[in-house]
Structure formats: C-alpha cells, structure tokens
C-alpha cells in the first residue's frame, strides 16, 4: 500500500521543535522532506562560546541521527542562503516543491529572498507555511519566546498547578508540539486538499500561542458560559476530584484513576472493597474522606497488583509510567508505538512509532535522520550540477 503523501515534496527550513515535528508528520505520511540546513553558524550565534555545540542540527553524529525521530524519513542539503548561488539552488528546488515550511522571525525570509511573495512567482502552486510563536501579525509578532511564554499568554499555564495555588511548569508538549507542530501539519494537509480544488497555492500562518488557545476551546467555553475561573489543582480534571487523581502504591509507584461517572466509580469501590464510599456526592461534599480512604487503600498493594485487579472491572485506571517502562506495556507493543530499528553503525536503536494506522498498518521508517548536508551532492546532481560545479560551490561557502 502506498503512503498518503507519496509524491509530495517539502522543503523544510525549520530548526526548533514545531517545524521539525510538523515535517516529521508529513514525512511519516510519505512526503519527500528535504531539510534545508545552514552551512555554519553566523552572526551573534557564531560569537557565543559553545554555540556550535548547542546547534544540534549542525553537528549531528551518526548516533544522533539513529535516534532522531523528528529527522527520520528526511534528507538534508546545506545551503548558505545569504549566498546568491545557494539562493538560486533554493529557487530551483522550489519550482517543483509542493510545500515550504519555515519558522524564522517575521521578516527574516524576506531578507534572505526566500519569502512567500518571491517563491509564488516561481511556483504559484506552492503552499508556504510559517510557524512562529505569535504569528505574522499583532503587537507581539517580533517577540522571541518559548513554549512557557506561549502557554502563559494563552491561559493554559494559569490553569496548571497544585491545590495550594503554586504553578507546575509542564514540558513543552503543549505549545511546541501540539499548538505548533501538530496544528501546522493539519494546516498543511488542509492546504493540500484545498489546492486540489483550486489549483492554487496558499500562504499559511500558524502561531503557537493561537494553537494553545485553540486547544483550550472547551475550557474557554465553560468560562464564558459561567464566568468561573478554575483554581489550580482544585478542578474536576486537574486533581481536585479524588475520583480523577493519582495515588501512590505500596511499592512507591503511582496509579491513575479517572472514574468520574457514577457507574465507573461504583466499579472502582466494589473492586477495592470500599463499597461504603460508592454513594459519593458528585459535588464534593465528601472529597476529603474519599481521598483519604483511597490513599490508604492504594498503599496496601503494588501498582501492578492494583492494575491487575482494576483492569478486570468496568472502571477507568492506568499505570503511571516512567519513560523506561513505556515500551514494555502490552498495549504500546500491540500498537507498535515504540519500535526497534537496526542502524548500520549504531546498531539496535529505539524510536517512537507512528500513530496513524492505514488498513491496520503504520507507515514505516524509510530512512534514518540525515547528517547535516548528507544529501547535498545527490540533490545538486538531480538539479543538473556537475561534480566540478558542486566542488566550486563548496569552495565558495555556498553549500557544505
């Protein structure tokens, strides 16, 4: 079976989390993603001691590439887009590309001469995606930021914390990967469908902050309906309800229960020998007593023992895993969400699997992540450059 995006060509100018995650999705779905990478650091980054070491996309080792999920199924060419000859190479690639992805600050691609207005004159059918923190418009458009800044602006950080009111800072899944990368991938796929109908390309502006606000649609719905602002750690879905919470077990591991519906909660109580709690007041009049009894009960068995008991009844339960445990779970194994691969030099490596199943099968790994500029020569040859011309471009610093 062919992959859904076979034949789609993507030029990927992105570096940090949201862009590479977006193009990982496209590559996993079959797109031919060509990473357009820097030849070397320049400007203030080059002046910072140790900056080269921190620029992982520039000095990837073969071992890095073996484990690099966001670089898999992609190729790499190194171009110095400040060089006229390198920029001409980019234009040649853009003529037959379907999608361009970039995540520079607004205005940077225009200064480099690879902005949408320039490219659409070369290829009117191009879909050009810009994914940034705050988007291409608005007073914050030029501000720098990271995940924490975007989830704070969107109101998400204001809802995450402990019952005493302290904030809990999450990993960067929310803005970088969901609000940014995944939202961007959906936008690109939508634009590709739209192009089938119109024959025209389009410019797509995705802001991570916008994406987080979008993810919070149901929470804003409740707020605008009732006017109530949730207290951190005290809500129904963030630990305030003892039926939807995490408990420590005898072996100092943790188990998660989310038996909010009366029938699920009753099943939990019966399986744990706590039938006297099954008439729990859904409005929280007995919260403290229920939490205390559940805490005491869960400490009498190990996490896995409780899961074995509770997974047999109609209630909502799950083990709280550390990263080293995930691959051993039978459900994760059945869905092939952690996969073992054989790298030619690094040997056996593990990566996350692909969540999309087509006819019951997930797209596989077609190639490991490339070294920086690994495919420069083959790409240039496909554009008609001779080996002598490629070497001259290298000498001029146009390519790596």
CATH number for the domain that contains residue 287: 3.30.1540.10
pTM of the model: 0.93
Q: Strand, coil or helix: what is 329?
A: coil
Q: Which residue of the set 28, 68, 98, 176 is catalytic?
A: 176
Strands (E) located in 227-313:
244-248, 254-258
> How large is the greatest C-alpha to C-alpha distance in the chain, in angstroms?
83
Give yes or no: residues 321 and 376 share one domain. no
Residue of 101, 80, 119, 143 whose CA lies nearest to 13: 101
Q: What CATH code is carried by the domain that includes residue 33?
A: 3.40.50.10540
Domain range holding 309?
Answer: 244-326
Q: Is 106 left (phi over 0), alpha (psi -120 to 50) or beta?
A: beta
Rounded to whole angstroms, how far apart are CA atoms 95 and 93?
6
Is the alpha carbon torsion for 367, 369, 371, 373 positive or negative? positive
Helix 84-95, helix 387-395: angle, nearest 10: 130
Element (H, E) at 341: strand 338-343
* Predicted confidence band of residue 88 (pLDDT cuts 50, 70, 90): very high
Give yes or no: residues 51 and 133 share one domain. yes
Residues forming beta bridges with residue 254, ordered by sequence position: 248, 320
Q: Is 176 a catalytic residue?
A: yes
For the stretch 39-84, pLDDT in tens is 976 555 555 555 555 555 567 899 999 999 999 999 999 999 999 9
Rounded to whole angstroms, how far apart are CA atoms 294 and 168?
24
Q: Is residue 4 part of a domain?
A: no
Give yes or no: residues 55 and 182 share one domain. yes
What is the pLDDT, as a whole number, of residue 52?
A: 52
Helices (H), 68-182: 84-95, 108-112, 116-122, 147-153
Give yes or no: residues 310 and 383 share one domain. no
Rounded to whole angstroms, how far apart are CA atoms 64 and 60?
6
Q: Which residue of the set 64, 146, 205, 314 is catalytic?
A: 146
- Dihedral (C-alpha) 104, 105, 107, 112: value to the nearest 10 degrees? -30
Residue 373 has pLDDT above 90, yes or no: yes
Mean pLDDT score, 150-156 = 97
What is the pLDDT, as a whole number, of residue 285?
A: 57
Q: Is residue 235 part of a domain?
A: no
Is the alpha carbon torsion for 5, 7, 13, 15 positive or negative? positive
Give yes or no: residues 279 and 364 share one domain. no
For the stretch 192-231, pLDDT in tens is 999 999 999 999 999 999 999 999 999 999 999 999 998 9
Give yes or no: residues 28 and 146 share one domain. yes
For the stretch 300-357, pLDDT in tens is 999 999 999 999 999 999 999 999 999 999 999 999 999 999 999 999 999 999 999 9
Give yes or no: residues 107 and 179 share one domain. yes
Q: Is 146 a catalytic residue?
A: yes
Strands 99-102 and 127-132: parallel
Residue of 367, 378, 286 whose CA lies nearest to 66: 367
For the stretch 112-152, pLDDT in tens is 999 999 999 999 999 999 999 999 999 999 999 999 999 99
Q: Provide the number of structural domains found in the chain.
A: 2
Rounded to whole angstroms, how far apart are CA atoms 202 and 199?
10
Instruction: With beta carbons less than 8 A apart as the criterion, state whether 333 and 327 touch.
Output: yes
Element (H, E) at 266: helix 262-271
Q: Is residue 112 part of a domain?
A: yes
Rounded to whole angstroms, how far apart are CA atoms 161 and 233?
5
Residue 105 has pLDDT above 60, yes or no: yes
């Amino acid at each position: 079976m062919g992959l859904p995006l076979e034949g789609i060509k993507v030029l990927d100018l992105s570096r940090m989390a949201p862009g590479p995650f977006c193009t990982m999705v496209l590559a996993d779905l079959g797109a031919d993603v060509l990473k357009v990478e820097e030849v070397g650091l320049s400007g203030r980054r080059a002046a910072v001691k140790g900056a080269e070491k921190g620029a992982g996309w520039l000095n990837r080792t073969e071992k890095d590439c073996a484990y690099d999920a966001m670089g898999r199924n992609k190729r790499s060419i190194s171009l110095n887009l400040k060089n006229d000859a390198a920029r001409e190479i980019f234009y040649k690639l853009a003529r037959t590309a379907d999608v361009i992805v970039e995540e520079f600050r607004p205005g940077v691609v225009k200064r480099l001469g690879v902005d949408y207005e320039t490219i659409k004159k070369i290829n009117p059918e191009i879909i050009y995606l810009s994914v940034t923190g705050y988007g291409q418009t608005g007073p914050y458009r030029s501000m720098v930021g990271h995940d924490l800044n975007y989830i704070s602006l969107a109101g998400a950080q204001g809802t995450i914390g402990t019952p005493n009111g302290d904030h809990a800072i999450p990993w960067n899944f929310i803005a970088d990967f969901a609000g940014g990368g995944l939202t961007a991938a959906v936008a690109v796929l939508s634009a590709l469908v739209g192009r089938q109908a119109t024959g025209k390309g389009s410019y797509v502006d995705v802001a991570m902050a916008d994406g987080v606000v979008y993810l919070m649609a149901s929470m804003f719905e409740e707020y605008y309906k009732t006017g109530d602002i949730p207290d951190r750690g005290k809500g129904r879905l963030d630990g305030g309800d003892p039926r939807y919470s995490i408990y420590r077990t005898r072996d100092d591991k943790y188990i998660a229960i989310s038996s909010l519906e009366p029938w699920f909660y009753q099943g939990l109580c019966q399986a744990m020998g706590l039938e006297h709690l099954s008439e729990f007041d859904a409005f929280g009049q007995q919260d403290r007593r229920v939490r205390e009894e559940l805490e005491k009960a869960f400490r009498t068995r190990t996490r896995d023992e409780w899961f074995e008991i509770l997974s047999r009844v109609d209630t909502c339960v799950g083990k709280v895993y550390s990263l080293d445990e995930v691959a051993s779970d039978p459900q994760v194994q059945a869905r092939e969400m952690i996969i073992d691969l054989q790298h030619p030099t690094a040997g056996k490596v593990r990566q996350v699997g692909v969540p999309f199943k087509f006819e019951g099968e997930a797209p596989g790994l077609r190639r490991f992540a490339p070294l920086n500029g690994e495919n420069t020569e083959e790409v240039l040859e496909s554009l008609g450059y001779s080996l002598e011309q490629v070497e001259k471009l290298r000498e001029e610093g146009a390519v790596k």
